Amino acid sequence: MKRKFGKIIMIGAIVTMMMQMIPLRANAAEETLTGKTANEITDMMGKGWNLGNTLDSTGGNKTDIYSHETAWGNPKITKELIDGVKAAGFKTIRIPITWADYIDKNNGYEIYPEYMARVKEVVDYAYEDGLFVIINVHHESWVNRKDIDTAYVETGKELVAVWKQISDTFADYDQHLIFEGMNEPRAQGTSYEWTGTNDCYDAVNYLDQLFVETVRGNGKGYNNERMLMVPGYAASSNPSVLKSIKLPELNGETASNLCVSVHCYSPYDFCLTDKQTTFDAKNSGDTADIKTLFNNLNSLFVSNGIPVVIGECGATNSGDNYSARQAWFAYMGKISTEYNIPTIVWDNGVNGTSGGECHYYFNRNTGEVYSQELVDAFIAGAIVAKAENVFMDFEPVNDGTHSTLPDPYELGFSTKLSTQMKINHTADVTMGFALKVDSDAPDYNALYDIGRYKGHTIRIGAWLYSEDAATVSIGINGENNTELANVVAGEEWSQVCFDVEVPEGGDCTLYLKGDAKFFVDDFSIEMDPTEPLSIINDGSSDGQTDEELISDDSANQTTSSAESVQNTEKSSFAIIAIIASLVAVVAVIVAVLVKKKKQ
């Protein structure tokens, strides 16, 4: 008896060892989210991203579900893309879905099983990453009818049938999964498509009510407590539409765990057209519409305990107006955080610079973020400084046939600048290019924007030269102009290096101002330095030539290659160890079975 019991223990241990070697499927259900109110859920959602122009597209071959999601120019959705969205810092993904092409109207509005399976597969990508996931019905021709104000009963039958099937399929997904009844329900193709009428508002309220009744009436899984998003007409931010929203009721009371869904593309000319390419958070004309919307959302809903989610927002790329878009994202991120309203950026995968619909933030093929700076500004509600060195060497770039001068403006400098051949300050280089600061004004100025470093300590370095013994003052232009250093630049190159804490408020521009022509070389900024330095004027080489810089890069690459080899070796050893363990386990099992057979 003891011998058999020992064998059982041995086999159990072996099975346990083998189970531990098998990677388990990680998903949100490992930490089940349940029992939360809609307000508690929105507190956790943070900033989000839209998987736009993909599952919500129309067209394609109905026999090929992938041709549907690629019909508007985006590639097939991959797990790598969703993982990349999470890695960039987003906590929520909204997955717009158009079902119309895969609804069998002759068979009780049945959704094609293969399409439902594909939707489920994509939802799982995000759900298994522990993200909040929003799914909806999106570009539905049967919802956005011209006669929505009179055909809402007919529309409602299809809406109920669709949400019954969605509720069944996803019943066991916990509160990380959120249902949004409709996207922008409206009278498409009418003169009042985006403004609506009172009858249109009532029709949308009717459809919202059916949606909530259907999901709550499902009675399965987590559908009784799932957060449900309900839009007003066209999900509009128009005050009249917001005031018209009637929250669905159950048993004579407002249904639980509801959330109002709104979209925000304000100011319109900046966000969705090429008419306005600038945005200034200090300009009330640029921010007025946004402030009004958030004030309305707060007074109508948030302050009354009704959460709101801004399901779409964004600013189109118009002529590569990168800094203006960054300022808009920072402002939108900040104000939505202040009002505690989760906000989700629209991404349609269009990587262009004109046309009003260029919302591109991720490479859909690789999952790599297009601009972490824009994402960070949105998530943090501020333009985020990066802990990095900024080193600008004004040596010409020689491609083997001719030299190309660096463009100071592209490097971030402004105001009457050029480059000029001048004796370089490095020890073994006799000729080179330096930044010439020159103008027709009595003073000679160079300006460099350091706004991205607000609230951080930075180390500023530069080498100065002047044939006319220029007195160069260095300081910060902002709400309070501050002079940081005063240096006499002579015919020997001299280095200036100092630390400064960049103020939080107002404009923040570093200026170099001289009373005669002067030259700047090897300009550098280091954020959050650990060892403070004072001003240095030694008139000597900086000790690092271009050749040494190249040598350093080569050494870094060699180190990286060595580390790569080591990592590969470690991975190989790990794989060999696992295989050896499995072989040993199998050998033990065989030995046990052979021994048992002999007995």
Residues taking part in catalysis: 184, 312
Measured at the CA of 564, the angle between CA 558 and CA 567, to 5 degrees, comes to: 145
217: number of Cβ within 10 Å: 14
Helices (H), 276-321: 284-300
Q: Which residues contact 218 (CB under 8 A, 6 or more apart)?
A: 164, 167, 168, 171
Closest CA relative to residue 63, chosen from 134, 116, 115: 115
Q: Which residues contact 386 (CB under 8 A, 6 or more apart)?
A: 373, 452, 527
In angstroms, rounded to a whole number, what is the distance separating the alpha carbons of residues 445 and 516? 10
Find how far residue 183's CA is from the centre of its chain: 21
- Amino acid occupying residue 275: K
In angstroms, rounded to a whole number, what is the distance separating the alpha carbons of residues 165 and 554? 59
Helix/strand/coil percentages in the chain, nearest 5: 35, 20, 45
DSSP at 471? E
Are 233 and 200 in contact by the 8 Å Cβ rule? The answer is yes
Phi, psi (deg, nearest 5) at residue 414: -150, 170
Residues in the chain, overall count: 599
Measured at the CA of 403, the angle between CA 401 and CA 405, to 5 degrees, comes to: 155
Q: Which residues contact 273 (CB under 8 A, 6 or more apart)?
A: 316, 318, 356
Q: In the chain, how long is the greatest CA-to-CA distance?
A: 106
**Collapsed DSSP state (helix, strand, coil) of residue 96:** coil
Cα-Cα-Cα-Cα dihedral of 411, 412, 418, 423, to 10°? Answer: -60
494: number of Cβ within 10 Å: 22
In angstroms, rounded to a whole number, what is the distance separating the alpha carbons of residues 181 and 185? 10
Task: Dig out the tokens for 223 from the structure.
Answer: 């559908």
Task: Dig out the tokens for 272 from the structure.
Answer: 């969705």
In angstroms, rounded to a whole number, what is the distance separating the alpha carbons of residues 326 and 315? 9
Task: Dig out the tokens for 197 from the structure.
Answer: 């009428």
Q: Which residues contact 457 (CB under 8 A, 6 or more apart)?
A: 499, 500, 501, 502, 527, 528, 529
